[in-house]
Amino acid sequence: MADNSQKTDEPSLDKEKTKDDSDKESKGVSQAPLTIFYHWCKSCNICIAFCPQKVFEPDRDGKPIIAHPDSCTQCAFCWLHCPDLAIVSNEK
């Protein structure tokens, strides 16, 4: 019973606010190790700067692109430190 009160017309990546997690997975850009909710990410550069494996590289807007997915060791640093709660691990 999501109330999609987002007033602005967001791109399809728009984060649907629903209780159903699987739906969340499909909306985020899921690339192997992590899912990133780009609509929530405010390009603070913390994950890019601190990732011990240098998995991320900034896109044009400074948002993290998972450039080296295989380097990710699921150390959890990025999603523990993401101020926007925009990173979720895909590891099952």
Partner 1 sequence: MAQKSDMAQKSDVVHHYLRPKKKFPHVWCSGCGLGVILGSLIRSIDSLQMSKNDIVVCSGIGCSSRLPVYIDFNTLHTTHGRAIAFATGIKVAKPKLKVIVVTGDGDCLAIGGNHFIHACRRNIDITVILANNWIYGMTGGQFSPTTPTGSRGTTAPYGNLEQPFDPTSLAIAAGAAYVARSTVYHVNQLDKMIKGGLEKKGFSLVEIISNCHTYYGRLNREGDPVKMLQWQKKHAMPIEAARKLPPEKLEDKFITGVLHDVDKEEYCHRYDRLIRELANASRERS
Footprint of partner 1 (CB under 8 A): 1-3, 5-6, 15, 17-19, 21, 24, 39-46, 49-50, 74, 76, 79-89, 91-92
Closer residue to partner 1, CB minimum distance, 60 or 92: 92
**Helix or strand (DSSP H, E) at 91:** none
Distances (CA, A) of 42 to 12, 22, 25, 45: 17, 24, 20, 9
Least distance in Å: CB of 67 to partner 1? 18
CB of 58 within 8 A of CB of 65? yes
Closer residue to partner 1, CB minimum distance, 24 or 68: 24
